[in-house]
Structure 1
Amino acid sequence: MILGFIQPTLFGWVLKKVFGQSMITILLGVIMFGMGMTLSLDDFKIVLQRPLDILKGTAAQFIVMPLLAVILSKLFGLEEALMVGVVLVGTCPGGTSSNVISYMAGGDVALSVAMTTVSTLLAPILTPAITYFLIRQTVSFDPMSMFISIVQVVLLPIALGLIVKAMLKEKANVVNDVMPAISSLSIACIVGGVIGANAERIIGALGIIVIVIILHNLSGYALGYFVGKITGMPRKKRITLAVEVGMQNSGLAASLAASQFAAMPMAAVPAALFSAWHNISGALFAAIVKSREAKMAESEMEA
């Protein structure tokens, strides 16, 4: 992100097209391919074994974050393009890094993976539908075009990842070892490209949009945990729900902003900033949760 501000031209290639596809879309496809490579049959079994938990998480994911996006956009009077960008972040599925953060925070990792998988598979339908419902009176766009775009950049790469994994079998572990690094690098390039292309305009609106992004993310954590609590989930599941709701697939949001709202370059900015911020806040969230658990355990031992 910092390099995007300092050397805007360094990531200029990210916004270019290769074989008719933007590099942002290709990079996101690489990330989704990596997700497909990490999935296993057990991840899908959990959906059938724990349908109520998945339902709670998915409902919270696609209700809490979109509504927060609209409320914060109106509250802070965001310009049209930034509002669209924040809404896109809110309507996208959970981010793949949420699984790592859930593990670090001592959450239910199996549930985290299942929730990310389900929300991602539902994204082609729910993301365009919810986005259209929320912004239709402000901005016009084609939900069907967004549906096709998500299928192309999300579902097809995931399916390809599953197929390659099945073909490679044990050798797939070698690919899995390097995919996290490749995915992280891809996200970094997307963020750098978006910020580099809009550096001057971002600086002009930096204060407001950064506050909105931080509030969006932190409120997602808090409300996700709250939903888990009021629906009777144990602590580990509440932690997972908080992480899944608060962390979004901002790479997909950036790709959709670039492909569906090309006339609004700033629409991709919230996704880029969210991508950088939610990894920082996620690590902090995990550290705080683990520290609190350690203190609780220490208190129980003293008692």
Structure 2
Amino acid sequence: MHRIRTVSTFIGRWFALIVLTAGGIALAAPSVFSGLTVAIPWLLSIIMLGMGMTLRPADFGIVARRPWPLLLGVAAQYIVMPLLGLGIAVALDLSPLLTAGMILVGASPGGTSSNVMVFLSKGDTALSVAMTTVSTLLAPLLTPLLVLVLAGEFLPVDPGALFISILQIVLVPVLAGLFLRMLLPRMVEKLLDILPLVSVAGITVVVMAVVAASSSTILSIGILVVVAVVLHNSLGYTVGYLIGRVFKLPIASRRAISIEVGMQNSGLAAALAVAHFNPVAALPAAIFSVWHNVSGSLLASYWSRKGVPVAETPASEPSRTSA
């Protein structure tokens, strides 16, 4: 298990570079990897199962103890990022498919690596875990509704089909993982060190599939999409932090909300885009998968050096290890 833990740490540290390299390989040989799109929903289901296995009933305690920061953070997650995605897409005059892709990224729940980033940044990890969990559980209802309202004018949206897909890809696997940990805690504990490897492998294949299937779009307007994604992610961090500041939350809570709002479950967005729209619509999600891990690591490193006031230092540790 020590070797597995060492490998997991190494891969987690170089995750962004691994995914970026894999995307480059897929772009160079798109015909080899484009057929992988059919596996995207299954890969995301496995990653979500792993996320569920890292949860414990105690993780939900913050809902009762500190509902206000949690409600504020989740509301920011589902209001700020979808509107930013739409606004940036319109400002940059992206195509309808890419606009839908930006909205999908924004309307997705928090990213599974956000908890580790919050912990490294000396933020409120318990709040981060609760935000990721609650936003994920709300995704079957809120994500289809937001996509219908914001993207419906650009192309046809079937909210019912999106709802079913999110149930299958997210909610059922997460709940299954949670029940597995409750029923077989010793077995699941032994698997926790492997979960980051599974997450990295799954996201890597998702990125390769999306890049290969939309290679012609990348080669023609790839830089513009990168600019859109960087703006989306950066503004998410900024607005998330400012919301916490306006409502006078502690610095540790502001950092948690900032990272949770800025980092999205882009793998889910890619899966939904491929299944219900077109691989081109999944391109923002594929780029987001790489970029938000780079930016999240940089932000966490910066905040970890700044520290927080002693009275606010969080004592909690991240309860999940998924990348």
Q: Same fold (TM over 0.5)?
A: yes
What does residue 84 of structure 1 align with?
A: 100
Q: Does 1:286 align with 2:300?
A: yes
Give, in angstroms, the shift of residue 152 of structure 1. 0.6
Pairing of 1:103-118 with structure 2 (within 5 A): 103-118=119-134
Aligned equivalent of 1:273: 287
1:210-289 → structure 2 map (5 Å cutoff): 210-261=226-277, 264-289=278-303
Correspondence 1:119-158 to 2 at 5 A: 119-158=135-174
Q: CA deviation at 1:12?
A: 3.5
Secondary structure, aligned partner of 1:28: helix
Give the counterpart of 1:35 among 42, 48, 51: 51
CA RMSD across the alignment = 1.4
1:14 to 28, 36, 41: 36
Q: 1:293 & 1:51 partners in 2: Cα distance? A: 25
**Residues in 1 aligned to 2:107 and 2:25: alpha-carbon distance in whole angstroms:** 28
For residue 166 of structure 1, report the CA deviation from its aligned partner. Answer: 2.2
Residue 191, structure 1, aligned to residue 207, structure 2: yes
Q: Which runs of 5+ in 2 are unaligned?
A: 1-22, 311-323
- 1:10 Cα offset (Å): 4.4
Give SS of 1:273's match.
helix
CA contact (8 A) 2:151 2:157 kept: no
Count residues with an aligned counterpart.
288
Which amino acid is 2:195 matched to?
M
2:27 is matched with which residue? 5
Counterpart-to-counterpart distance in 2, 1:159 and 1:13: 30
Which structure 1 segments of 5+ residues have no match? 16-21, 298-303
Deviation at 1:41, TM superposition (A): 0.8
Identity %: 44
**One-letter code of the match for 1:2?**
G
Partner in structure 2 of residue 159 of structure 1: 175
2:197 match:
181
SS at match of 1:94: coil
Distance 2:258 2:202 in 1: 25
Indicate how the Cα distance of structure 1 residues 75 and 10 shifts in structure 2: closer, same or farther if over 3 A, else same. same
The offset of 1:3, in angstroms, is: 2.1
TM superposition shift of 1:163: 2.2
1:101 and 2:117 are equivalent in the alignment? yes
Tell me how far 1:13 sits from its aligned partner. 4.2
Q: Is the 8 A contact 2:213 2:280 kept in 1?
A: no
Deviation at 1:49, TM superposition (A): 1.3
Q: Shift of the alpha carbon at 1:101?
A: 0.6
**CA separation of 1:280 and 1:10: change in aligned 2, threshold 3 A:** farther
CA distance in 2, matches of 1:13, 1:278: 26
1:172 aligned onto 2:194: no
Aligned partner of 1:5: which letter?
L
Which deviates more, 192-201 or 126-135?
A: 192-201
Report the CA distance between 1:292 and its aligned residue.
Answer: 3.0
Match of 1:203 among 197, 219, 222: 219
Q: Displacement, 1:200?
A: 2.4
Q: Secondary structure at the match of 1:257?
A: helix
| TM-score normalised over the length of structure 2 | 0.86
Letter in 1 for 2:290: A
Amino acid at match of 1:3: I
Letter in 2 for 1:176: L
Question: What's the secondary structure of 1:177's corresponding residue?
Answer: coil
